[in-house]
Each structure stands twice: as structure tokens, then as C-alpha cells.
Amino acid sequence: MVNLETAVTTRGTVEPKRYLFKAPASAYETVKAAGVDLVSLGNNHVLDYGPVGLAGSLDSARKAGVPVIGAGADAKAAFAPWITEVNGTRVAFVAISQVHELGRSFP
């Protein structure tokens, strides 16, 4: 699992933040090629391009077949764990973040 500390989108509008990160959809293919099984989007850059940018990040992950945690189409999806089995033991992963700069802007 990695924390993908960026929006992965070509859509959206720049949010009023000091630092903004954006990557192309090929970022998901790159993490797959590196052997990454799961990507966390629960970080302070997933909303750098607003809700439209987030939707683009989620669409790109789905198209690439990369599971994501920490963000979703709604709160239920964002807080849902990703569960896998490792050497016979079930393991659940969750990702949570609070973006102080935009905390009042998003529900």
C-alpha cells in the first residue's frame, strides 16, 4: 500500500491552497507496475482540484483496476476498509485525513 499524495486527474478547479499536486491517470499504471496492491487517497492533496478532480481521481483508479481507500463517491465509500488476506490472516486497511485548509469548504 502507498499513500498517493496527489490528485490523479485532468479535471476540476484549483482550490485555494498553497501547494497543489496533480498527476496523470498513468500514475495508477505506474504503481501497479511497481507491485502496489492498494492506494490511499486519504491525504491533503486528493481535493486539490475540488470534487470534480476527486471524481476524476476515482474514475482513473477504477479504469486502471487499482483499489483505493480514504476517498470515495460518498462517506460510506471513503471510510470503507479494503480487506485482504496475508499468509492466512485477514487484514483491513483504512485511510483517513483532515484537510485543515479546506475543512469548511467540503461536507
User: In this prediction, what percent of the chain has a pLDDT beyond 90?
Assistant: 83
pTM: 0.87
Q: How confident is the model at residue 105 (pLDDT cuts 50, 70, 90)?
A: low
Query: How many whole angstroms separate alpha carbon 98 and alpha carbon 13?
Result: 20
Coil vs helix vs strand at 11: coil
The CA-atom distances, in angstroms, between 58 and each of 14, 78, 90, 104, 105 are 17, 11, 25, 22, 20
| Residues pairing with 90 in the sheet | 85
Q: Is the pLDDT of residue 14 over 60?
A: yes
> CB of 8 within 8 A of CB of 54?
no
The residue-averaged pLDDT of 7-26 equals 94
The full 3-state SS of 30-82, as one line of letters, equals HHHHCCCCCEECCCCCCCCCHHHHHHHHHHHHHHHCCCEECCCCCHHHHHCCE
Q: What is the pLDDT of residue 106?
A: 54
Q: What is the pLDDT of residue 88?
A: 97
Q: What is the pLDDT of residue 53?
A: 95
| Residue ranges covered by each domain of the chain | 2-93
Give pLDDT tens digits for 57-102.
Answer: 999 999 999 999 999 999 899 999 999 999 999 999 999 887 665 5
